[in-house]
A and B are shown apart, each in its own frame.
Chain A
Amino acid sequence: MSTDAPVSTVSFAPVLERKFAGRARPEASGRGDVPTISVDPASLHDVALFLRDDPSTRFDLLLDVASIDRSKLPAEQLPRDGKRFQASYILYSTRRNEHLRVKAAVPEARPSLPSLVDVWPAANWFEREAWDLMGIDFENHPNQKRLLTHNGFVGHALRKDYEAGQRWLCTEEDILQTDLASKTETAEDAFETMTLNFGPSHPATHGTLRAVFRLDGETIVAAEGECGYLHRCFEKMSESHTYSQVIPYTDRLNYCSPMINGNGYARAVEQMLGVEIPPRARAVRVILSEFSRIMDHLVCIAANLVDIGALTNFWFLFQAREEIYGLLEACCGARLTSSYARIGGLSNDVPENFVEWSRRLLVEVKKQVDEVDRLVSRNGIAMKRLRGTGLVTKENAIAWGFTGPCLRASGVPYDLRKDKPYDGYETYDFDIPVMNDGDNYSRYYVRMEEMRQSARIIEQGLSRLPSGPVNSDDYRVVLPPKEMVYNEMEGLIYHFKLVFEGIQVPAGEIYSSTEGANGELGYSIVSDGSGRPYRIKVRPPCFPLFAAFEKMVVGGMVSDAVATLGLLNIIAGELDR
């Protein structure tokens, strides 16, 4: 583990100093972390406008709002300003390909920040979440209500003094929000229209999403989405588990592509530790991530086609998925919840026939995908249902915080695998499919094409899969081999240290992101130097997508809303965490 001293990496520091002397300061960021500035809450709104509009900054995409309660940090890390809460805004500039973290701290007595919804519309739900779980108040927020928990909930669950097991009774009245979508323009509207509840128990909402539509005939005039039906407290749970014990929880975020979550999390912790994983582990992670991406797109397209009435494709696509499951099961013993990544490598090596098996699979998968392509891509009904519905312009997609296939379907070629390559993606030859229409058909087709590109990456990975170990030999992170434990004193000590205390991650903070199947999957991790994470905040790619759903469906039909929801590919596990 090397110890390079933290330095500031903010590129526009002089401009910032000139404009906001003293009110916004660049901060030193740790190893692998994104550049950071810290801002006075009073100037936050001005700084935000500057960051969005100034030619030297142009941070147009708000990725995440991570909040933290700093009251239980060890004495030497306690904030000197004595402010208990802090919000971190993670920004990205699509023009300058740069990330930035903006921190603003607020005291316990008056935990309030100006709302940035008017600067980045994507902030809306992120701020609601921060209020719900951490109790940070956002002034001028248009709709500051509970989001993930129910209305019968008391307190703010992610505060450190909130006890993890404390539940509150939720009755039917607590989830029924009568003002949902009741906002109508005129009195006549109210007379002419009707309100329709959609979900959470509806086949097209996958059991966990809810929207309320205000209908005029069959046209939606207002809509409101609601989530939280699968809020199972990942972030709170991870605070009471060791770094390795968090890995199984990450599998259950996006359960359609669990491997990508686990790899992203492991990489974030590895960056904090400064651990390099061996080339074979990196290649296997890439190959299996790409297989997971294919699986995720398969489920998305299969489920969506079922929703719009094309059941046959479901059997084709699920057959392909079943084949991939076989491979995953051979690698790690589980079909769905793989827990394959480890901090410092993988849980074990891939089976001997991995390369041949994967090659065979690729042929099989491609066949099924081509079959569906022939069935659907030029099918008249599918075209009618998907073309021109659920439109999102390029500007809106950025403002609403889209990433991943949905952003690329609106004409923005942002893909972390190309823009911020990790795990050696820069050495693979592949293309990023981009479409410009921003409708459901584009989202469908971008996914179809991405599966083919993933197959290309896998082929290259297989043809040059390096041999060697799959785990780092840093025994402060990875369990030493058994012979060493039994025969050497040192090995025994490492083993016991790891088992009893867990991996000791140096104090610090990181934002590390991975290209998930749905978009940018980011982990903000704060460590207090102990064996358990102090705070983990996930940046779920689905979250801004579902937040925008209520805006996308207005003006369309109810049946278009179903198609739109399916192709946004909302996975409740990572939406609600």
Chain B
Amino acid sequence: MSDSKSARLPVAGQVVPPLGPGMPSTAGADFLTTKLDWLVQWAHSNSLWPIPFGTACCAIEFMSVVSSHYDLSRFGAEVVRFSPRQADLMIVAGTITDKQAPVLRKIYDQMMEPKWVISMGVCACTGGFYRAYHVVQGIDEIVPVDVYVAGCPPTPENLMLGIIQLQKKIQSGELARHREAKTLVPIRVGEDPRISIPAYSTGVMAPHRPGPPGFPEIPERAEDPVATGGPEKRR
């Protein structure tokens, strides 16, 4: 092997970029300079292990996304785990009812940090067209949500877009701040479970309003146009 040829080959131990933004080039050297944060985020975002919290029709579409035709493994997120302890991304696919709510919260609590939540479909995002006595009007009543994916059900492409968005958010470090802002309180509040109190999170949910005849108002979420603009409200 001649000298001139070996000079062009990578030397053992030499690392070729990826590098963080704003880092000096290390091409040709056998070391790498980057920010630890950036490297960790890069690793996180490209090896998401999802736990599907699938309850309804959206779960069927989720199955399509992970099966051969759409193949989620192209985005590094195909290792579907059914144990919350092994997963770091919860994909809530389907309607969450009041009866399901404590279960969802429990599964979420069992996941290790860092963890992210994608709300798949309008039911999980806002309750969808089930504006009714047994349906949670958006899972953000219960758990913090990082990405909302619209659609009923979202097309597989749309869910993939959601996952790519999440990867971008993880990479930018935006999410850490978001979660700190939203502290959740324990689910049992007060003596009698049947009184009108916010239950799962501070000031976000008011499920037990006595309500006037006709369809009830949702005063606490007036700033959120999606939550207040349900089909009944418009009539």
Contact = CB atoms under 8 A, between A and B. Distances in A.
Interface of A: 148-150, 152-154, 157, 162-175, 200-203, 206-208, 228-233, 236-237, 240, 248-249, 252, 255-256, 299, 303, 314-315, 318-319, 321-322, 325, 335-337, 572-573
A169 B130 contact: no
B233 to A, nearest CB: 10
Nearest to B107: A201
B133 A233 contact: yes
Contacts of B193: 152, 168-171, 173-174
B129 interface: yes
Contacts of A150: 98-99
Contact of B60 (A164, A168, A255): A255
Nearest to B100: A229
Contacts of B129: 237, 248-249
A292 to B, nearest CB: 13
A200 B123 CA distance: 18
B69 A237 contact: no
Interface of B: 52-57, 59-61, 63-64, 67-69, 82, 94-95, 97-103, 106-107, 123, 129-135, 152-153, 155, 187-188, 193-194, 197, 199, 207-211, 213-216, 232
Contacts of B64: 318, 321-322, 325, 335
B133 A166 contact: yes
B67 A165 contact: no
Given A150-B99, A229-B97, A336-B61, A207 B54 contact: yes
B100 A232 contact: no
Nearest to B216: A165
Contact of B213 (A163, A175, A201, A337): A163
Given A157-B134, A232-B132, A232-B134, A335 B155 contact: yes
Nearest to A199: B103
Given A152-B193, A248-B129, A201 B53 contact: yes
17 contacts: A149-B99, A152-B194, A163-B216, A168-B193, A169-B207, A171-B193, A207-B55, A207-B94, A232-B56, A232-B130, A256-B60, A315-B68, A319-B67, A319-B68, A322-B68, A322-B69, A337-B57
A262 to B, nearest CB: 14
Contacts of A206: 54-55, 59
B133 A162 contact: yes
A237 B132 contact: yes
B192 to A, nearest CB: 9
Given A240-B232, A322-B67, A164 B132 contact: yes
B67 A232 contact: no
A471 to B, nearest CB: 25
Nearest to B94: A207
A78 B56 CA distance: 38
A207 B207 contact: no
Contacts of A228: 97, 99
A572 B55 contact: yes
A207 B120 CA distance: 15
A306 B53 CA distance: 17
A172 B102 contact: yes
**Top 8 closest A-B pairs, CB basis?**
A233-B132, A255-B57, A318-B67, A165-B216, A203-B82, A150-B99, A207-B55, A170-B98
A175 B102 contact: yes
A252 B94 CA distance: 11
A148 B99 CA distance: 9
A408 B126 CA distance: 41
Contacts of A233: 130, 132-135
Contacts of B56: 208, 230, 232, 252, 255, 572-573
